[in-house]
Amino acid sequence: MQRFATRIRTAIASATGIDAAELRLERPRDASLGDFAFPCFVLAKQLKAAPPAIAADLADKLNAELGSDPSDRIEAIATGPYLNFKVDGARLAEAVLFGATTAGADYGRTDEGGGKNIVIDMSSPNIAKPMHVGHLRSTILGAALYRMHELLGYRPVSINHIGDWGSQFGKLVAAIDRWGGEYDIQADPIPALLALYVRFHDEAEAEPALEEEARAAFRELESGVDGQVRATWRQLTELSLAEFNKTYERLGVEFDLVRGEAWYEDKLQSTLERIEATGVTEESDGARIVDLTSIRKKMAPCLLKKTDGTTLYATRDMAALFSRWDEFAFERCLYVVGSDQKLHFEQLKGVLKRMQLDWEPRVEHVAFGMMRLPGGKLSTRAGKVVFLSDVLDRAVEEAAAVIADKNPDLAASDHGAEIAEQVGVGAIVFNDLKRERIKDVVFQWDEVLSFEGETGPYVQYSHARLCSILRKAEASGEAPGQSGAAPDWSAVDDARGLILTLGRYPDTIRTAAADAEPSHLTQYLLGLCREVNSWYANSRVLGEAPGTTAARLALVDAARVVVRNGLAMLGVAAPTEM
RNA sequence: GCGCCCAUAGCUCAGCCGGAUAGAGCACCGGAUUUCUAAUCCGGCGGUCCCAGGUUCAAGUCCUGGUGGGCGCGCCA
């Protein structure tokens, strides 16, 4: 695939004198026009001629060169101001289809990352609070970016920056001291802790002494004393992590490092000194700040130390950032965090800029839009949340019902439950990665539980159908290894667009990773499946002339590989039947 | 008040860092199954690409100014 584009580019380059690297080939609006397109407008000024004339002229010149090898011919066709190129169909099919199937799970793998580190800060739930639908986005966006970078030869490092520090732990400890006995924290920790947290806020309004107890508890925690408070904190952390892990397992997500804010506790002092040493800090209203108005007019300063000398969120994040740079010398450090924290990351980067650290551009805030309910914002304290586990459970239930309806034999078999899990969870994950990450989303049950149209199950179903054809080919003795027939590539002439799409998979991964935008991949998969389904609705694969069947099976197999790989990148299972 | 982000079909969204006639899904209407799984496919309906200027051979895409919505704005995280 790449080969054809390169040949075209070098040919244009030698005919026009333009650097081949600067030439960008497009996709013709209408696939019947050709496989690649080059608009000639850009040459008009230089050659002092009208674009259509240039196109016609270039077509003649290029055909002489690109057509020289009759067995690997590329045809140049001038269409108005455009120069379109049509690759030899058999060559294209062979190169793309065999390329994908022989590479298999490694299709699209490159070493362009050179083993460079990509730090991905993702998920980051808060201890003692439930994971809700809002946490899903960070987790699966981060996981998808992880897999894509890995495929491109980078060495990703995922870090779960658990929210395990801060004044809210004082509140929790105080609440447990008071009413802990009334709740069964061990049995079902998260709801119990949530209830305690909510109760603290309710009762603290009437009883201010509670706030003081909370502050005292947090002071003890911060002091480093290994007493009762710390023991409680440690226990809370362990219980919560065990709960989170259940969800991570269902989502197929793992972390290289689980480092909460507390992990950076002993690095705060050195971090402050490091920043102070560059002379960018100053005193303001008794607090220690870094002024950022030189970065952007009226930008709020970064607060590093409160009046009372204690540290803040930004201080701890700066400590984390330096720690990560020192440890990994990352090529990119991706913060997969909601767009509501945009300013916070601009401030962190602003401090790096003022310190004149040249690696500042490598720190990127991969912001995503807010999840809201039809009634308004999510709020843990107000109880306006949709628990992630409930969403997954309901989706799996729904999937089981659909399978029982559409495929009763499968539902009754050993793996019926397993496939329901894969389809249900897949629907949720795919749905969340479907749109551009920056867009806000309103959580709607009927939308996330939809299995038709542009959904995860649609893609999974397409994959299952392809697998089914391959299974049947095996049974009838028509599979490639069995029949031994040479593919007659003219039998897939009607699938040109589809073949080109398959060839574009590696590039899709590349741009999705570069833009930190997995939706490029979900959209690609939806388009690919639409093309595949449409194609085989009209083209019979099995039982045709051996050469025809061989060629079409090659297409089916390549499509199967690409869909399966793409889903794997997203963390969505690809069942072979459903 | 200030800053950042978003705005494309009734609804939810694509639109390949400026190119050819703006595309899907849902919903609605109609059609396809003795055929490799109908979670599918085919057709129809549906557009002042928020508004006004500007840049350009070319603007949904870039710039400026508005409008509407979201988010944020010094001792919370």
Q: Would you say residue A382 has pLDDT above 80?
A: no
CA of A566 to C1' of B53 (A): 44
What value of ipTM does the predicted structure carry? 0.97
> What pLDDT does A477 receive?
92
Q: Would you say residue A432 has pLDDT above 80?
A: yes
> What pLDDT does A483 receive?
83
pLDDT over 70, % of chain A: 100
What Rg, from alpha-carbon coordinates, does chain A have? Answer: 29
Report helix, strand or coil for A126: strand
> What pLDDT does A110 receive?
96
> What pLDDT does A215 receive?
84
A291 confidence band (pLDDT: 50, 70, 90): very high
> What pLDDT does A189 receive?
86
Q: Is the CB of A216 under 7 A from strand B?
A: no
pLDDT over 90, % of chain A: 72
Q: Is the CB of A301 under 7 A from strand B?
A: yes
> What pLDDT does A481 receive?
81
> What pLDDT does A278 receive?
96
CA of A313 to C1' of B3 (A): 21
**How far apart are alpha carbons A110 and A114 in whole angstroms?**
9
* Angle between helix A313-328 and A342-354 (nearest 10): 60
Q: Would you say residue A211 has pLDDT above 90?
A: no
Q: Is the CB of A531 under 7 A from strand B?
A: no
> What pLDDT does A162 receive?
93
Q: Is the CB of A26 under 7 A from strand B?
A: yes
> What pLDDT does A191 receive?
85
Q: What pLDDT, in 10s, does the model give residues A129-186? A: 888 888 899 999 999 999 999 999 999 999 999 998 877 888 888 899 899 889 988 8
> What pLDDT does A99 receive?
96
A516 confidence band (pLDDT: 50, 70, 90): very high
A132 DSSP assignment? B
Task: Of A24-33, A322-331, A512-521, A560-569, give the lowest mean pLDDT range.
Answer: A24-33
Q: Is the CB of A307 under 7 A from strand B?
A: yes
CA of A357 to C1' of B5 (A): 27
**How far apart are alpha carbons A117 and A25 in whole angstroms?**
31
A15 confidence band (pLDDT: 50, 70, 90): confident
Residue A347 identity (one-letter amino acid): Q
For the domain with range A117-257+317-377, which CATH number is right: 3.40.50.620, 3.30.360.10, 3.90.180.10, 3.40.50.720? Answer: 3.40.50.620
Exposed/middle/buried for A292, CB within 10 Å: 0-12, 13-18, 19+? Answer: buried
- Which one, of A358, A363, A345, lies nearest residue A300 by Cα? A345
| List of A residues 116-145 with CB within 7 A of strand B | 126
User: What residue spans in chain A does CATH classification 3.30.1360.70 cover?
Assistant: 2-87
Q: What pLDDT, in 10s, does the model give residues A454-511? A: 999 999 999 999 999 999 999 999 998 888 899 999 999 999 999 999 999 999 999 9
Look-up of token digits 């601009």: A346
Question: A493-499 long-range CB contacts below 8 Å, 24 or more apart?
Answer: A493/A89, A494/A535, A494/A538, A494/A539, A495/A535, A495/A539, A495/A555, A496/A31, A496/A35, A496/A89, A496/A92, A497/A31, A497/A531, A498/A528, A498/A531, A498/A532, A498/A535, A498/A555, A498/A559, A499/A92, A499/A93, A499/A96, A499/A97, A499/A555
Mean pLDDT score, A392-407: 95
> What pLDDT does A244 receive?
94
A386 confidence band (pLDDT: 50, 70, 90): confident
Q: Is the CB of A542 under 7 A from strand B?
A: yes
- Which one, of A464, A492, A420, lies nearest residue A472 by Cα? A464
Mean pLDDT score, A77-106: 94
Q: Would you say residue A557 has pLDDT above 80?
A: yes
Q: What pLDDT, in 10s, does the model give residues A333-380? A: 999 999 999 999 999 999 999 999 999 999 999 999 999 988 788 877
Q: Would you say residue A301 has pLDDT above 90?
A: yes
Look at A67 and A551; give whichever has higher pLDDT.
A551
Mean pLDDT score, A418-429: 97
Q: What pLDDT, in 10s, does the model give residues A113-140? A: 999 999 999 999 998 888 888 889 999 9
The overall average pLDDT reported for chain A is: 93
User: What residue spans in chain A does CATH classification 3.40.50.620 cover?
Assistant: 117-257+317-377
> What pLDDT does A277 receive?
96
Q: Would you say residue A71 has pLDDT above 80?
A: no
User: For the domain A2-87, what is the CATH code?
Assistant: 3.30.1360.70
Mean pLDDT score, A243-255: 95
Cα separation values, A574 from A32, A420, A467, A562, Å: 32, 12, 10, 11
| List of A residues 403-442 with CB within 7 A of strand B | 403, 406-407, 423, 434-436, 438-441
| List of A residues 368-407 with CB within 7 A of strand B | 370, 372, 377, 399, 402-403, 406-407
Mean pLDDT score, A236-260: 94
Q: Evaluate the CA torsion angle A465, A471, A475, A479 in order and state its sign.
A: positive
Mean pLDDT score, A77-81: 92
Mean pLDDT score, A410-419: 94
> What pLDDT does A521 receive?
98
> What pLDDT does A72 receive?
81
Q: Is the CB of A344 under 7 A from strand B?
A: yes
Task: Of A216-225, A242-251, A502-511, give the lowest mean pLDDT range.
Answer: A216-225
Q: Is the CB of A365 under 7 A from strand B?
A: no
> What pLDDT does A222 receive?
79
Q: What is the distance, to the nearest Å, from the Cα of residue A301 to the centroid of all Cα atoms in its chain?
A: 32
Q: Would you say residue A383 has pLDDT above 80?
A: no
Q: What pLDDT, in 10s, does the model give residues A100-116? A: 999 999 999 999 999 99
Element containing residue A192 per DSSP (H, E): helix A189-206
Cα separation values, A448 from A125, A252, A452, A457, Å: 22, 19, 11, 11
> What pLDDT does A70 receive?
76
